[in-house]
Amino acid sequence: MSNTVYFNQPVKHKPESDENWDLLIRPQESLLTLKLRDVWRYRDLLYLFVRRDIVSFYKQTILGPIWFFIQPLMTTLIYVVVFGQIAGLSTDGLPQLLFYLCGVTFWNYFSECFSKTATVFRDNAHLFGKVYFPRIITPLSIVLSNLFRFAIQFSLFVLIAVYYYFQGKAQVQLTIMLFPLLVAMMAFLGLGLGMLFSAMTTKYRDLSYLLQFGIQLLMYATPVIYPLSQVPERLKPVLAWNPLSPIFETARHGFLGAGAFAPMDLAYSLVFTLVVLLLSTVIFNRVERTFMDTV
């Protein structure tokens, strides 16, 4: 029997899957790594966070989800009295209740996404320090859970709008087909600005004190309680830089038949939203590596 050993035949090894290992050591990631694959792998955790945010909002309350209707309705009635009756602001010929409810419904969704995402590192520091998961799942869960709240408030707006439709005081335009795009733009813009703000507040705590104040100022710089048609000509170029203005004007144009639909302005808002979202995701993923040292 020959004792010759031949080495010219390559040995084939069965590739191991990532799931077979407890710890994976990978090379340093590039700056533009968005970790979208990790979000998909942890989609069950994302679902649990969304469910937690929805249930915890009205748990141990008497009225429960009815609060989702009470808040926008009470805010709208206050706007009708203060801005409609006392200040006498124009509503482009629309019923005041319908005009302000439209603005409040859309604004509540954006502001909730922005404000809650902006404090995600501070609010979840106790959780981030104990277990690993893609941190971006937390702001994503905020946007999705607020979408449930927006759907409830939007149904209230639709019911009141239908009532005025039959009275001939409002009408639907073809731009209503852009509704999914408008909601997505508000969600991504609130998510992007919130993550950017959250990443900066880990090092500069002073910014957290400007959050609520800044959101209020942004509301007055957005056509929420007034139509863009009533803005003086010298101020319209200033408001044109606000990416939220085309969203609110397009929403009013589609659902109420008022407002102005400017495709180029809406395109600018879309590009602005995508740039902010990409930039904030990169910064957020970079800050999450070391934020526990500063929070």
State the pLDDT confidence band at 275, using cuts at 50, 70 and 90: very high
Distance between CA atoms of residues 5 and 81, nearest Å: 95
Say what the pLDDT of residue 77 is.
93
Quick: pLDDT tens for 194-233.
888 888 876 666 677 778 788 888 999 999 999 888 888 8
Tens digit of pLDDT for each residue in 36-82?
677 778 788 888 888 888 777 666 666 666 777 888 889 999 999 99
How high is the pLDDT of residue 261? 87
Most confident of 37-41, 83-87, 97-101, 209-213: 97-101
List all residues 6 or more positions away from 35 whose beta carbon is below 8 Å from its beta carbon. 134, 136, 285
Alpha helix ranges (H) inside 21-66: 36-41, 43-58
Q: Who contacts 45 (Cβ-Cβ below 8 Å, separation ≥6)?
A: 133, 137
Confidence of residue 271 (pLDDT cuts 50, 70, 90): very high
Cα–Cα distance measured from residue 84 to residue 149, given in angstroms and rounded to the nearest whole number: 26
pLDDT, position 64:
64
Token pair for 217: 């100022």
**Position 19 pLDDT exceeds 60:** no
CA distance 254 to 268: 19
Using pLDDT thresholds of 50, 70 and 90, give the confidence band for residue 13: very low
pLDDT above 80: residue 249: yes
* Rounded alpha-carbon distances, angstroms, from residue 88 to 176, 185, 231, 233, 265: 28, 31, 14, 20, 28
Question: CA-to-CA distance for 60 and 22, rounded, in angstroms?
Answer: 40
Per-residue pLDDT, 103: 93
pLDDT recorded at residue 55: 77
Domain extents in the chain: 32-293
pTM for the structure as a whole: 0.81
